[in-house]
Structure 1
Amino acid sequence: MNKLNYIMKTALVFFAVFFISKVIAQKYPIVLLPGSQKVEYNKRTGEHRLLGTVNFTYKGNRMYCDSAAYNEKTQTIKAYGNVQVQKDDINLYCDSFYYKTSVKYAKLWGNVRIRDSEYKITTDSIDYDAKNGKAIYRNYGKIESIVSTEKISSKTGYFYPETKNVSFGGKVKYYKDGLSMTTDTLKFNYAKQIAYFFGPTFIKNDSIKLNCNKGWYDVQKERAQLFKSVKVSKDELEITADTLYYNSKTNEIRAKGNAQYVDRKENLSCFGKQLFSSDEKKFAYATGDAMASKIIRDDTLFISSDTILLVKDSLLNIQNVKAFHNVSFWYKGMAGKSDSSYYDVSRNFILLRKSPIIWAENTELKGDSIRVFLKDSIVDSALVMGNASAIMEVDSGNYYNQVSGKKIIAQFKGEEITKVDVKGNAWTIFYPISEEKSDSVVKQKRIGMNRLYASELRIYLDSGEVQKITYFDKPDGIFYPIDQIDEK
C-alpha cells in the first residue's frame, strides 16, 4: 500500500495531460499520421471523421483506433474500436472514448485498461470530470502492480488528483506482501500515505488479524487506530476493545473501553478499562477495574485490582501475573484480599503482600504476607509470615478458635485447613468439647477456653475443631471454665 500514490498518478496522468486544457483545439491541432485509410470532413457540422486504422497525435498524445471523429464546433472527440492512447510509458486502452472540451468531461468504456511500467488499472468504464477534478469508475475496477504482489479491487473508485485523495467503495479488497484488507469503504491520501476505512473491516498482516468498523492505517509508519468493536488476534492471543491503537513495527497495542486480553494457550484472560500489550517489552497490563482469570484444570482463579500486569518470557509465554492496589482473588472456595499480589504461573503459587487476608471455608488467615501453594490445581498449603494468625469459626460464630505466631504453615485438604504449624512466639485459644452419653444419644458441649503458649506448636483440625495439639519447648497455658469467660 505504500506505493498507492503511484497507482493514483498512473491513473490520472493520462487525464491530466490529455484532457485538462483551457485553450481551444485549434491551438493544438490533430496531426494525422500514416495509416488512416480515409478522412472525411463535414463543413456544415464541422466534424472530421477518420476511418480505418486511425493513427494520429493530439497535444503530444498518440492515439490509435478503428475510427474517430473530431468536431471543431462542439469541441468533442470520439473514438471507437480498439482505442489506444500513448503518453511516455503510459498506455490507455478501451473500446470507446468520448471527450468534450467545453465541459471538460471525458468517458471511456468497454474493457478500459490503463498501465505504465509499474501498475495497471482495469475496469468496465471511467468517467472523468476535469472541471471538478475527479475520475470515477462505477462498475468494478482493479489496480494491480506489475512488479510486485500489490493489488486493490472495488465496485467503485473515485480519484481526486488535486487533493491527492482516492476513495474505493463496495467490497474493497487490498493485498500486498502478506498484508490484506477487506472493507466496505476505503479512502486513501497518497500524500500522507494514510488509509481510512469505514464499515466492517478485516485486516491481515502476516499472522496478525484485525477486525473493526472504522479506523485508519498509516502504511509508511505501519501503525493503525481502530474503532467500534475492535478485535486483534495472533495465534492463540486475542485482544478486543472499543478503541485500539496498533504499531506493527513494535507489536505494541493500546486498547481503551471494555478492553479484554485472552491467551487461549495459557487459558488466561485479562480485562480492564484500558490495556497495553508489547511483544518487544514482553509484558501486558490492564488498568481501571482490572480483572484476570486463569483456568486451572477444572476450576478458575480470579484476580481483581486497580492494575494487573502480565509478565512474559523470551518465548512470550506468561511467567507471572502481578496485581496492584485493592487486590481480591477467588479460587476453589477460597477468597482473599491484599494491597498487592503475585501469581507465579510456572511454580504455581500466589503471593499476597501488605495486609493480606485469606478466607477458606470457616477459617481466616492474616499476616504481613501470605504465600498460597497449589499442587495439581488444588490449594496445598499456605505460608503466613509476620504477625501471622489463623481464626477458625465454630458453632456458627458463637466461638472462634485462634492461633498466632511469627510464622504459620497451614495444610489444606480440599477447602479446609487440616494442620497448622506455628513457629515463633506461638499461642492459641481454643474451646474444647466434652461429650455426654445418654442411652444412644451423644451430646457435645463447650466446657471452657484454653489459652496456651509455646515457642512452636502444631494443631490438627477437623472442620475448624481442634483435634490434637503438639507443643514444642516449654509450653504454658491456662484453662477458663465456660462460666468464667468474658464474652468480650
Structure 2
Amino acid sequence: MRAIHISFILLLFTFISFSQTPNKNKIIIHHADRSDINEELLPNAVILTGNILAEHDGMTMRCNKAYYFKNEEYLKLFGNVHIVQQDTLIMDSKYAEYNAINGFAYAQGDVELRSPDSTLVTDTLKFDRGQNLVYYDSYAKITNKGNVLESNKGKYFSNEKKFQFFNAVKITTEKGTIVKSNHLDYYEVPEHAYVFGPSTITSEEDFIYTENGFYDVQQDLGKLLKNSYIWYDKRKLEADSIYYAKLQDFASASYNVRITDTVNRAVITSHYAEMHKAKDSIFVTKKPLVKKENEPKDTLYLHAPIITLTGKEKQRVIKAYQGARILRDSMSGKADSIHTSELTGITKMIGKPVLWNGESQLSGKLIHLLSNVETQKMDSLKVLEDAFVIERDTIGDGFNQVKGVNLYGKFQDNKLNEIDVIKNAEIVYYMYNEKNEFVGIDKGICSHINVTFEENKIATASRIVAPTSTLYPDDFLPTNARKLRGFLYRGDEKITGLQNIYSQEELDKEKLLLEELKSKKHIYDLPMAIQAETLEAESTGENLLDRSPRKTDSSTNVSSPSPTSKAINTKKEEKDLNKFSEQKKEQPKMLKKEEKAPEKMLKLK
C-alpha cells in the first residue's frame, strides 16, 4: 500500500515537472483529468485521460486521451483532437501524433485543417512545423472563399498561403467556373491558380485548354502558354500565348495565332489578335490572313497588315488596311484597303485598286465586287471612274486595252464572263485571223464597248453606240500610240497564289519574330513564373515571356510516410484508435491528356 502511495507521489511530481519545463524541445502537459503508468501494457509512456491540454513551442493540443513518451518527446492523441498553431492553423481529427524533436505531426480520421482563409478536409494529413508545410496523399476537399478545391494529393505552404496540388485536381469557383489539372498551385489570399500540364478551365460560356497557365479565380483572368486554346461558343482561338478576361469578354493572343470560326466557315491566322466577344469583334495584325470557304473549290483569302472583323453571323464586316490583298480562285487583287460586308455582299477595294482576272488587269479609282448573299457566289463587279482593262497579247508583245469612265461586269460560276465599258470608251486591240496570223491593230472610240471572256482571256470586243475605229498595219502605228492615256501595267504585282500574297518585308519581320519566339520557347516547358498580380494582388499586364520560371517544391515526397511516426502496435492502442480510418470518398477521374470541347463544336457547319 505504501509502495502504491509513493508511486502516485512520484507520478504527480513527474506530471508537475512536465508543466513547468521551459525546454523548447519538451512537450508541456498543462492538464489531464487522470494520468497512469503501466510499463507492462505501454512501456516508457504516460497514459493521460480526460480533457487533455498540451503545448509545445506555441502550439496547443487538446484531446480525450493521449500517450506521452517522455524520453522521445512524442505524443499520441486520441478522440476529439484539436490542435492550434498560433491562431493561424487549427486542426481537428480523431487521431494524431506529434514529435517535438523534429516538429512533425500526423493526423488521421475526419481531418479538418483551417486557416483564416481556407478549410481543408481529408482522411490523413502530415504537418512539418519546421517548414510550415502540410501535405497529404489521399482525397482532400478545400473550401476557400466560396471556391471548392479537390485533389488526390497535395501540399499547403503556410508561410506563402499556397496550396500545391497533384493528381486529379479540380477547382469549382463561386461563379461556377471549373478548373481541372494534374498539377496546380493555388494562392489562397488573391485566389490565383497556376496550372502545369494538361489542364482545362470551363465556364457556362467558354472552354479553355492549356498546358501552362495562370488563372485569377476571383477576377476570371487567365494567362496561357503552351498548346493553349479557347472555345468562344463556336469560335476557337489558338496561340502560343493567350490573355483571357472573362468579365470583359476579351482575349488577346500572340505568336502563331489561329482563330477558327465554324459558323462562317472561316480561319484567321496571324501573330497577334484581339477578340471582343460581346462586340463580335476581332482585330488581327502581324501577318494576318483570313481564309473563308464559300463552297467547295471556292475559297477566299484576304491579307493586310491590319484586319478587323465585326458583327454577328451573316452581318459580318471585314476591313483590311494599309495595303490589302485578295485572292479567290483565278482572281486576285490589291488596294490600300478592302472592305467587305456579308449583309450586302459588297466588297469595296479603295485606294489604287487593281484586280487580275486570269490574264486581264482591271483598275480604276474604286472597285466593287458584288456577291450573292445566299450562295456567296460572285455575281458582278463595278469599276468606277477611270476604268481601265489591260491584257498582254498572247502572241505578240503588245497589250489589248479598253478604257472608259465606268465598267460593269458579270460573273458566271465565279469567273468573269463579260464586261461593259461605259462612256468615253476607247480600245486598242491586236487582231489575228483564224490561222493566228497578225492582221493589225484596231484602235477606236465609242460610247459603249462590250467585252466577253473565255477561259479568263478576252474573246471578243464589240463597239456599241457610235463607234469609230481604224485598223492599223503593224508598221503604221507608232509605239507611243499603242498605249492609251493612263496606261499602267502592274503585272509584276500580280498575286498568283498564297506564296506571294505576303510582301517580302512581312516575311522578313515574321522570320525575326519566330526567331525571338524560339529563343524563349524553353519557358513553355517550365512552370510559369509567379506573376506580379499574385505578388502585389493587382494587375500589371507584364509580358509572360519576359519572366523567369518559378521554382516548384520537390523536396518533400508527399507519398512518403509520416517521419518518425510510431507504429500502432499494441492491443491497447488499437482499441483506442477504434479504426479511425474510413473508406475514402469517391475520387474524380484523372484528367486526360487533352480534355476537349464538345465534338459538335469542332466540326465546320
TM range (shorter): 0.7 to 0.9
Corresponding residue number in structure 2 for 1:161: 158
Say whether residues 1:458 and 2:466 are aligned partners.
no
Residue 360 of structure 1: how far off its partner (Å): 1.3
* Aligned with residue 296 of structure 1, among 294, 297, 309: 294
2:27–2:73 Cα contact (<8 Å) kept: no
Corresponding residue number in structure 1 for 2:186: 188
Q: Any gaps of 5 or more consecutive residues in structure 2?
A: 1-20, 481-605
Say whether residues 1:413 and 2:405 are aligned partners.
no
How much identity, in percent, do the aligned residues show? Answer: 21
Partner SS state of residue 103, structure 1: coil
| Cα distance in 2 for residues equivalent to 1:467 and 1:198 | 67
Residue 156 of structure 1: how far off its partner (Å): 2.1
2:449–2:461 Cα contact (<8 Å) kept: no
Partner SS state of residue 289, structure 1: coil
| Cα distance in 1 for residues equivalent to 2:211 and 2:152 | 19
| Cα distance in 1 for residues equivalent to 2:222 and 2:280 | 21
1:310–1:318 Cα contact (<8 Å) kept: no
Corresponding residue number in structure 2 for 1:214: 212
Residue 124 of structure 1: how far off its partner (Å): 3.5
Residue 427 of structure 1: how far off its partner (Å): 0.8
Query: Compared with structure 1, are the counterparts of its residues 216 and 468 closer, same or farther at alpha carbon in structure 2 (3 Å cutoff)?
Result: closer
* TM-score for both structures, normalised by structure 2: 0.67
| Cα distance in 1 for residues equivalent to 2:257 and 2:302 | 16
2:371–2:379 Cα contact (<8 Å) kept: yes
Matched residue type, 1:355: K
1:262-282 deviation line (CA, Å, top 9, x unaligned): 110111111111111112444
* Aligned with residue 56 of structure 1, among 52, 59, 64: 52
1:276–1:285 Cα contact (<8 Å) kept: yes
| Cα distance in 1 for residues equivalent to 2:238 and 2:325 | 24
1:358-388 deviation line (CA, Å, top 9, x unaligned): 1112221111221111233332221112221
| Cα distance in 2 for residues equivalent to 1:190 and 1:268 | 41
| Cα distance in 1 for residues equivalent to 2:162 and 2:117 | 20
Say whether residues 1:326 and 2:323 are aligned partners.
yes
2:81–2:95 Cα contact (<8 Å) kept: no
| Cα distance in 2 for residues equivalent to 1:358 and 1:374 | 16
Query: Compared with structure 1, are the counterparts of its residues 416 and 189 closer, same or farther at alpha carbon in structure 2 (3 Å cutoff)?
Result: closer
Matched residue type, 2:130: K
1:239–1:262 Cα contact (<8 Å) kept: yes
Say whether residues 1:256 and 2:249 are aligned partners.
no
2:281–2:308 Cα contact (<8 Å) kept: yes
Corresponding residue number in structure 2 for 1:438: none
Indicate the RMSD between aligned Cα atoms, in angstroms: 3.2
Matches within 5 A, 1:170-249: 170-176=167-173, 177-249=175-247
Partner SS state of residue 131, structure 1: coil
* Aligned with residue 481 of structure 1, among 450, 453, 473: 473
Residue 22 of structure 1: how far off its partner (Å): 8.3
Higher mean alpha-carbon deviation, 413-422 vs 172-181, is at 413-422
1:171-226 deviation line (CA, Å, top 9, x unaligned): 21111342111112111222333221211211112221111111111223321111
Say whether residues 1:372 and 2:365 are aligned partners.
no
Corresponding residue number in structure 2 for 1:14: none
2:314–2:343 Cα contact (<8 Å) kept: no
1:439-479 deviation line (CA, Å, top 9, x unaligned): xxxx353321121113443344545445352433x443332
Say whether residues 1:41 and 2:37 are aligned partners.
yes
1:112–1:123 Cα contact (<8 Å) kept: yes
Residue 408 of structure 1: how far off its partner (Å): 1.0
Q: Which has more helix, going by share of residues?
A: 2
1:250-300 deviation line (CA, Å, top 9, x unaligned): 011110000111110111111111111112444211111110011112221
Residue 396 of structure 1: how far off its partner (Å): 4.7
| Cα distance in 2 for residues equivalent to 1:86 and 1:317 | 64
Matched residue type, 1:103: N
Residue 302 of structure 1: how far off its partner (Å): 0.7
Say whether residues 1:127 and 2:126 are aligned partners.
yes
| Cα distance in 1 for residues equivalent to 2:338 and 2:116 | 62
Say whether residues 1:346 and 2:338 are aligned partners.
no
Residue 341 of structure 1: how far off its partner (Å): 0.7
2:416–2:453 Cα contact (<8 Å) kept: yes
| Cα distance in 1 for residues equivalent to 2:248 and 2:436 | 69
Query: Compared with structure 1, are the counterparts of its residues 79 and 28 closer, same or farther at alpha carbon in structure 2 (3 Å cutoff)?
Result: closer
Corresponding residue number in structure 2 for 1:5: none
Partner SS state of residue 350, structure 1: strand
Question: How many residues in Structure 1 have an aligned counterpart in Structure 2?
Answer: 448
Residue 39 of structure 1: how far off its partner (Å): 3.6
Q: Which has more strand, going by share of residues?
A: 1
1:395-417 deviation line (CA, Å, top 9, x unaligned): 35645321111211122234554
Query: Compared with structure 1, are the counterparts of its residues 485 and 378 closer, same or farther at alpha carbon in structure 2 (3 Å cutoff)?
Result: farther
| Cα distance in 2 for residues equivalent to 1:461 and 1:156 | 73
Q: Any gaps of 5 or more consecutive residues in structure 1?
A: 1-20, 436-442
| Cα distance in 2 for residues equivalent to 1:103 and 1:285 | 59
Residue 26 of structure 1: how far off its partner (Å): 8.0
Partner SS state of residue 157, structure 1: strand
| Cα distance in 1 for residues equivalent to 2:415 and 2:401 | 15
Query: Compared with structure 1, are the counterparts of its residues 91 and 102 closer, same or farther at alpha carbon in structure 2 (3 Å cutoff)?
Result: closer
Query: Compared with structure 1, are the counterparts of its residues 92 and 416 closer, same or farther at alpha carbon in structure 2 (3 Å cutoff)?
Result: closer
Query: Compared with structure 1, are the counterparts of its residues 232 and 276 closer, same or farther at alpha carbon in structure 2 (3 Å cutoff)?
Result: same
| Cα distance in 1 for residues equivalent to 2:377 and 2:347 | 12
Matched residue type, 2:141: K
2:81–2:96 Cα contact (<8 Å) kept: no
* TM-score for both structures, normalised by structure 1: 0.82
Higher mean alpha-carbon deviation, 300-309 vs 326-335, is at 326-335
Matches within 5 A, 1:304-315: 304-313=303-312
| Cα distance in 2 for residues equivalent to 1:373 and 1:289 | 26
Residue 120 of structure 1: how far off its partner (Å): 5.0
| Cα distance in 2 for residues equivalent to 1:408 and 1:329 | 20
| Cα distance in 1 for residues equivalent to 2:92 and 2:396 | 92
Higher mean alpha-carbon deviation, 229-238 vs 447-456, is at 447-456
1:427–1:454 Cα contact (<8 Å) kept: yes
